[in-house]
Amino acid sequence: MKGKETYFGGIFRGWRTMLKGMRLSGKHLKKGFKRDAPLSIMDEGYFDKVDGPITIQYPMEKVAVPDNGRYRLHMETDDCIACDKCARICPVDCITIESFRADGDLGRTSDGTVKRLHLPTFDIDMGKCMYCGLCTTVCPTECLTMTKVYDFSEFDRDNFVYHFGAYSPEEEVRIRKETEAALAEKKAAKAAAGGGIKKRPVMRKKPVVKRLPQEETTNTPSIGEETPPPRKRPVRRARPVMKPKTEDPPEATPETAAPAEETEAPKPKKRPRPVMRRKPAPEAEPPQIETPAEETEAPKPIKRPRPVMRRKPAPEAKPPQIEPPAEETEAPKPKKR
């Protein structure tokens, strides 16, 4: 355990800590004077930047955002054809569209598409939007886009609803009345010129006509004409009827027996049908080759057992024989006569 700190030791430690903090602050203050322009995340060298501003003066200065970011929605009213695709694909139903038919073409969009519907209402509730970007993907004229505006906070929720309709409520009522009147006039003129409204043809099935058998002609052929051969009608054959099996009649007694002439012939009894059983397959015999009569069969060679090769036993080791020297050998004895 360290000893108790002295009075002058505490003062010295406080001054040393303060000098370290002032040196670190001066280091960052020196870097803060290098006011380089803020780079976008899509620019080269964004992550290589080390020195630069410590803070930015918001809202006069803002951090650059990427071009493909998903932020607040914007709709170009002049390019919208009121196809309703964006409202149907929106997963949170934040887009509301109302349209009605026009009495003619209303012009063309920037990509050349013809406009045939009035668009009085096109509302987007950014308070519900989940920034998925599906509405901008399906838009055929690309009139719906996402801007780089990311700070659009409000104090009232109603201010999050953006109105992109083409007309005001008063103009909508006036245009609806004019359009309905023009369409009614065109309909009446078309009915007067064409004698009524033409209905679409209805496809109906043809009735099935049953062909009756042709009657034989009784007209006599004139002289010189060949009589055509009469047509033979196809004979309809009756289908066989399977009768139920009846029991055998009771035996007739001599009292109930009828005379021989009136008695019916006895019905033959039904014999059971023979059951066809498969014969067992004969065993396969080796094919026999017929030899001519003159040639006799050669005797078959007798199979001899194969010779078995056995190893010979190793010879026993004999003791070495020591031959006596030539001088010490005995002289041969003379033969007896």
Task: Please measure the distance between the N-terminal and C-terminal CA atoms of the chain and give it in whole angstroms.
Answer: 137
Please report the pLDDT score of residue 122 as a whole number: 94
Q: Which residues, 6 or more positions from 43, have their beta carbon under 8 angstroms from its beta carbon?
A: 64
Higher-pLDDT residue of 71, 273: 71
Higher-pLDDT residue of 256, 283: 283
121 by Cβ neighbours in 10 Å (0-12 / 13-18 / 19+) ranks as middle
> What 3-state DSSP class applies to 14?
helix
Q: pTM here?
A: 0.46
Across 65-93, average pLDDT: 91
- Answer whether 104's CB lies under 8 Å from 128's CB: no
Query: For residue 71, what are its two tokens?
Result: 């932020």
Work out the percent of the chain whose per-residue pLDDT is above 70. 66
Concatenated DSSP letters of 147-165: -S------SSGGGGEEE--
Query: 189 pLDDT exceeds 80?
Result: yes
Residue pLDDT, tens place only, 31-63: 766 666 666 667 777 666 666 656 677 888 777
Please report the pLDDT score of residue 334 as a whole number: 62
From residue 10, give the alpha-carbon distance in Å to each of 7, 13, 14, 20, 222.
6, 5, 6, 16, 151
Higher-pLDDT residue of 261, 31: 31
Task: Please state, in angstroms and rounded to a whole number, the distance separating the CA atoms of residues 298 and 295.
Answer: 9
Across 159-183, average pLDDT: 91
Query: 260 pLDDT exceeds 60?
Result: no
Residue pLDDT, tens place only, 225-234: 566 667 777 7
Please report the pLDDT score of residue 287 as a whole number: 59
Query: 84 pLDDT exceeds 80?
Result: yes
Cα 232–chain centre separation? 61
Task: Please state, in angstroms and rounded to a whole number, the distance separating the CA atoms of residues 134 and 73.
Answer: 12
1 falls in which pLDDT band (50, 70, 90)?
very low
Query: For residue 186, what are its two tokens?
Result: 């065109």
214 falls in which pLDDT band (50, 70, 90)?
low
Query: 253 pLDDT exceeds 60?
Result: no
> What 3-state DSSP class applies to 74?
strand
Query: 93 pLDDT exceeds 80?
Result: yes
**Mean pLDDT, the chain, as a whole number?**
77
* C-alpha torsion angle, residues 28, 34, 40, 45 (rounded to 10): -90
Please report the pLDDT score of residue 60 as a whole number: 84
